[in-house]
Structure 1
Amino acid sequence: MSDTAAIPSAIPATLAPLTTVRDLIRWGASEFNRHGLVFGHGTDNALDEAFHLVLSSLKLPFDLPAVYLETHLAEDERATALNLLRQRVETRKPAPYLTGISYFCGLEFEVDERALVPRSPIGEMIEAQFQPWLPRDPETILDLCSGSGCIGIAAAFAFPEATVDLAEIDDGALDVMARNIIRHHVKDRVRPVVGDLFAPVGKKRYDLIVSNPPYVPTAEWAALAPEFQHEPKRALEAGADGMDIVERILNDAPTYLTDHGVLICEIGGSDDEFEARFPGIPVAWPEFDKGGDGVFVITREELSEWLRARKRRK
């Protein structure tokens, strides 16, 4: 039984005064705050979340002229919107899992609980074509731990002459990714490669490797809010300090980068764990205008030199 079917559509008399789009948004935001919901999957506050869900339920654009917020809804429209708002409260699922759609770099992606909700600050770097970090436009790009494919597909739009490989091991995420490749008509330049990290790419080398790998320490993952617990654990949790997958990426990336290649990797709030595990690594930390942090940049040359020095110290 779907979540929609599980929640009664009958509207209590106490909600009868809720007749306009604005009424439903205001009520939804109040309910979200009253129940202590947590945000961070496309919105960062109750009002924006309610706006997103109500407009989605009505199949209306998010840039709807303000005058339409005062329109009165048909009874079936009102019931649909209220049920979606209730699902958000009762299931604690992130809004994109309820609507089936998430937005990243101005593109619409299909998403469900088999893949992370797209929200990486790497999106801002893609919109800037990774400047000033790339010496030239990449011809080959690898999106490592690709999930829904949002980073790699968005990069394909940013660099229309590039070919992009999306590396992923999880069958469910691969199914979501495949739907997004078809949705965006990029099958001729974007391909999934199935396997563990670099294993499926063979001897291919890339001008750019970009990754949002699992990086959440185990104890921190266990304490996450219910909204984040709905996301696949495999895409989040990565050992006692969260750096298990990141270390594998750092060790192997030079083999798969071209001579002037660049590695860009997100580690979120695990920067302290990163610096403790990899002291002295010469990474750059981009600053973001739209929020977010915890993304590092390192060239193949810098990474190779650091790895050699690290090996000598051991």
Structure 2
Amino acid sequence: MTILEGIQLTTEYLEKKGIDSARMNAELMLAHILKCKRLDLYLQFDKPLKDEEVSLYREFLKRRSQFEPLQYILGTVEFYGLEFKVNRSVLIPRPETEILIETILNNTSKEVSLTILDIGTGSGNIPISLARNLPLAKITSIDISGSAVELANENAVLNGVNENITFVNAGIDEYAPDEKFDIIVSNPPYVSKDEYQNLQPEILNYEPIEAVTDNNDGFYFYNLISEKAKSFLRRPGSLYFELGAELFPEVKNIMERKGFEKITFKKDYLNIERVIYGELN
């Protein structure tokens, strides 16, 4: 079987299984197996695949046809220009979360020493991206999942910022910091209990439920974190959240009730209010 034949057969199979972007999935899986860039495949379409490459390709194909996310199959994902290891213990970083990073960086000087608390470490994509771009910042990142904290530590080493970040295995309910922070940031679980069952199978069957839904009305962690931030933040201090679609009005109300001012939002590329932030003075 040649590279081209493998891609064509895989694409057809994935399309029949209802996988979106079947051709891209087929190419990315094979490029990963061959340890080359996706575009390099086009330069060697006639190259025969080795038996072990075909065997691994079939294994990847089986997993993807069962709607396992491509990122878990490959074991890595790119986020904000950096590479992160991912597995089923963590939420897969999404491109829209890059807007959260951009917003913080646009509002923050690289020349100032800051303390930052990230709530919900996951793969570590938020604290690590911030650490790479704010070299003087001292960052603490907490997560209730020990497996997530372990993976985030690996990613911090991979990206050369492990000296800048302290990872803590704790939930926000129990966390009691011994210092105040200039910035608190979180991409909390914001899918409501009712909406959760309607999610696509890649999320529903594979991503960690505690990272997706608050098992409540979708606002539980916005309320809790906004309340905790009142005692965790220095004055003036800033709180940044990622938002789900249509959550902005209620989260704005929550933050206002907790005493936050100058509340602002940033929209994503689909014109959805994706980031909200405010100040506590």
| Paired residues for 1:268-287 under 5 Å | 268-271=244-247, 274=250, 278=254, 283-287=263-267
1:42-97, Cα deviation, whole Å (9 max, x unpaired): xxx3332222212112222345374234533223323322321222103x211111
Q: CA deviation at 1:276?
A: 9.1
Alignment correspondent of 2:131: 156
How does 1:106-125 map onto structure 2 within 5 Å?
106-125=81-100
The answer as to whether partners of 1:138 and 1:208 remain within 8 angstroms in 2 is: no
| Counterpart in the other structure of 1:260 | 236
TM-score normalised by the chain length of structure 2: 0.85
What does residue 298 of structure 1 align with? Answer: 278
Residue 166 of structure 1 deviates from its aligned partner by: 1.0
Partner in structure 2 of residue 238 of structure 1: 214
Moved more, 142-151 or 252-261: 252-261
CA contact (8 A) 1:269 1:294 kept: yes
Tell me if structure 1 keeps the 8 A contact 2:131–2:137.
yes
Q: Is the 8 A contact 2:100 2:241 kept in 1?
A: no
Moved >4 Å (runs of 4+): 135-138, 279-282, 289-293
Q: How does 1:105-254 map to 2 (within 5 A)?
A: 105-126=80-101, 130-131=105-106, 133-134=107-108, 137=112, 139-197=114-172, 199-229=174-204, 230-254=206-230
Give the superposed CA RMSD. 2.8
What's the counterpart of residue 6 of structure 2?
A: 24
Specify whether residues 203 and 76 from structure 1 end up closer, same or farther in structure 2 by C-alpha distance, changes over 3 A only: closer
Provide the rounded CA distance (Å) in 2 between the counterparts of 1:31 and 1:130: 43
Post-superposition shift, 1:221? Answer: 0.9
Contact 2:226–2:254 (CA<8 Å) still a contact in 1? no
Tell me how far 1:205 sits from its aligned partner.
Answer: 2.0
- AA paired with 1:130? L
Are 1:121 and 1:293, in contact at CA under 8 Å, matched by a contact in 2? no
Distance across 2 between alignment mates of 1:127 and 1:295: 10
Task: Say if 1:276 and 1:167 are closer, same or farther in 2 by CA, change over 3 A.
Answer: closer
Q: Which runs of 5+ in 2 are unaligned?
A: none
Structure with the higher strand share, 1 or 2: 2
For 1:290 and 1:126, the matched residues in 2 are separated by 17
Change (3 A) 1:66 1:174: same
How far has the Cα of 1:248 moved from its partner?
0.5
Q: Percent identity?
A: 25
- The counterpart of 2:28, out of the listed 49, 52, 58, is 52
